[in-house]
Structure 1
Amino acid sequence: MSSSENTARDLQRSLLGLMRQNSRAGRVVVAIDALDSGAAGAFADAFAAAVEQEGTTAYRVALADGAPHARESLIAPFRAGEPFGPGDVAPADAVLVVSGRFLHTTDVRGLWNFSVWLESNPPIGAPRPELPDAEKHYLRTTRPKAAASVIVENSDPAHPVQVFGDFC
């Protein structure tokens, strides 16, 4: 099967396997980062569904740009088994899937046990839109492709493809 024939569900299961290589149990936090918060949210919903299908409790939270205050109000209570978010208390083995923009800044990248950087490219021959200055700055200074556990090319959300960013 070629990579273009892979479905989103196949990729979600593969990413879940990668996450489990380093985080077999406990309260795990996964970040889905993209310049498009809607795409990040949809991908995070599908990842949380894959976690649930595995038989593990999953929680979903969309974060504001840069995840201000996420450590104190969400991540620390989740990991400690205390009320977080809307008052949920996570069982000993659970996965919190967060989505948003700018989730690989140095202030927050250490909060995630596993992270995904989603990128989308315009169709072949279409011009690439000019990015706002904040997004250019984020890509240039933070380098989310290098910071993420996994890079996913998500131009076709029904057939996302894992991208390997090495230069071998």
Structure 2
Amino acid sequence: MSSENPVETLQRSLRDLMRQNAGSGRVVVGIDALDAESATAFADAFAAAVGEDGTAVFRVTLADDAGGDVRDDLVAPFRAGEPFGEGDVAPAGAVLVLDGRFLHAAGLRGLWNFSVWLESHPPIGAPRPELPDAEKTYLRTARPKAAASVIVENSDPAHPVQVFGDFC
């Protein structure tokens, strides 16, 4: 039996993928899910994996209605190396990990150098809860699975799995 933690293994794999695909400089990562608590827990673990080598990592949890404040108060100053959020200044090569709901909406999706969509499904045979209208609309219009850099099936947070959404 393997002693590796599946959460840490996946987080490190995603960290390496982010570094390969996001380029150099200050990197902004968005962790999106319909379940805000899952997004926060996943983003915390991802930030820990990114920081293992001493990379400066900043964490922010966004409210559903963050909107333009995200661009003007967080992302733009972070990328410019200016004070952002609580007055932090990010060194070159830093990573800002944001989590929340609706992060792949049209007004936000272009902010991320790398993004994760957390899928979550009820166990087989369990009733599927009816989604609120805002969530149905988001899934239909923003298509977060198509917009995200990576899809993670996170129904069992202790055993997340990267999903490959291509049709090859």
Task: Determine if the alignment matches structure 1 residue 78 to structure 2 residue 74.
Answer: no
Cα distance, 1:23 vs structure 2: 2.7
Q: Hey, what's the Cα distance between the residues in 1 that align with 2:35 and 2:81?
A: 31
Cα distance, 1:24 vs structure 2: 4.4
- C-alpha contact 1:66 1:105 (8 A) present in aligned 2: no
Cα distance, 1:8 vs structure 2: 0.5
1:16-55 equivalence runs, <5 A: 16-55=15-54
| One-letter identity of the residue aligned with 1:156 | D
1:8 matched to which residue of 2?
7
1:118 matched to which residue of 2?
118
2:145 matched to which residue of 1?
145
Cα distance, 1:32 vs structure 2: 0.2
In the alignment, structure 1 segments of 5+ residues that lack a partner are: none
Q: Hey, what's the Cα distance between the residues in 2 that align with 1:97 and 1:15?
A: 13
2:98 matched to which residue of 1?
98
List structure 1 runs of 4+ shifted beyond 6 angstroms: none
Q: Hey, what's the Cα distance between the residues in 2 that align with 1:16 and 1:54?
A: 11
Q: Hey, what's the Cα distance between the residues in 1 that align with 2:66 and 2:10?
A: 26
Q: Hey, what's the Cα distance between the residues in 1 that align with 2:7 and 2:30?
A: 17
- C-alpha contact 1:66 1:101 (8 A) present in aligned 2: no
Q: TM-score, normalised by structure 2?
A: 0.94
| One-letter identity of the residue aligned with 1:47 | F
Cα distance, 1:93 vs structure 2: 1.1
Q: TM-score, normalised by structure 1?
A: 0.94
Q: Hey, what's the Cα distance between the residues in 2 that align with 1:128 and 1:105?
A: 24
Q: Hey, what's the Cα distance between the residues in 2 that align with 1:158 and 1:48?
A: 17
Partner-residue secondary structure (3-state), 2:28: strand
Q: Hey, what's the Cα distance between the residues in 1 that align with 2:21 and 2:140?
A: 28
For the aligned residue pairs, the C-alpha RMSD in angstroms reads 1.6
- C-alpha contact 1:67 1:108 (8 A) present in aligned 2: no
